[in-house]
């Protein structure tokens, strides 16, 4: 099993346990707030990403650091438990995927659909609202957009909603054109070989 698949499997297991605990204890709203705080910590502090992925920090140090982060950020309940268990089990490298899985579970529980919009350039608030309105009409659900800027797309965007993927990126169109041109070159070479033979 690939490490990405293994990370996803582990993350879903942790997320499911945390979600069920929060649901049973009627703490889903608190969990959602804690996830937002933790996501902001990950975005604002590059060293945090290093800390989650490094094997150089021992288990005890990870557990103490996670406990202190939770205390300082006022993170409690399910997320505090997940982070503590992940530190104890040396699984902190899966935490970003756990956060994503938990957000998706909470959105689904609320009848929302989280949609990734990967764009070559920043999207204005008006563009985001228009995309969300179109997707809400298509899926008949409330939409939460997760916008990611990825300049390698060159232009256009990729939209992922559940198992649906709409790829309108210039990069993909250029790749398709390249394949078509390569296939036409192969066909021409084969015809030339037949003429010579």
Q: What are the tens digits of pLDDT across the range 89-105?
A: 999 999 989 998 998 89
Q: Is residue 10 part of a domain?
A: yes
71 in the same domain as 90: yes
Q: Please indicate, yes or no, whether residues 103 and 163 belong to a single structural domain of this protein.
A: no
Residues 88 and 115 in one domain: no
- Can you say whether the dihedral through the CA atoms of 143, 144, 147, 148 is positive or negative? negative
In a domain, 159, yes or no: yes
- Tens digit of pLDDT for each residue in 2-55? 577 888 899 999 999 999 999 999 999 999 999 999 989 988 998 998 999 898
Contact 30/76 with Cβ under 8 angstroms? yes
Separation CA 5–CA 135 (nearest Å): 28
Judge whether 104 and 113 are in contact, CB under 8 Å.
no
pLDDT for the residue numbered 163: 73
Supply angle C-alpha 145, 170, 138, rounded to 5.
35
**Is residue 142 domain-resident?**
yes
pTM: 0.65
- In a shared domain, residues 95 and 120: no
């Amino acid at each position: 099993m690939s490490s990405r698949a293994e990370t996803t499997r582990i993350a879903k297991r942790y997320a499911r346990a945390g979600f069920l605990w929060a649901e049973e204890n009627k703490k889903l709203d608190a969990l959602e707030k804690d996830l937002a705080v933790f996501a902001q910590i990950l975005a604002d502090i590059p060293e945090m990403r290093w800390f989650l992925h490094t094997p150089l920090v021992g288990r005890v140090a990870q557990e103490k650091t996670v406990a202190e982060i939770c205390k300082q950020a006022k993170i409690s309940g399910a997320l505090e438990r997940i982070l503590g268990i992940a530190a104890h089990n040396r699984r902190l490298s899966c935490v970003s995927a756990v956060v994503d899985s938990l957000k998706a579970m909470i959105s689904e529980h609320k009848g929302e659909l989280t949609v990734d919009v990967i764009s070559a350039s920043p999207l204005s608030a008006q563009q985001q609202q228009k995309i969300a309105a179109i997707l809400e009409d298509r899926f008949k659900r409330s939409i939460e957009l997760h916008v990611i800027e990825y300049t390698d797309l060159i232009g256009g965007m990729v939209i992922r909603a559940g198992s649906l993927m709409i790829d309108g990126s210039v990069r993909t169109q250029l790749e398709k054109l390249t394949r078509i041109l390569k296939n036409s070159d192969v066909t021409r070479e084969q015809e030339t070989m037949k003429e010579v033979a």
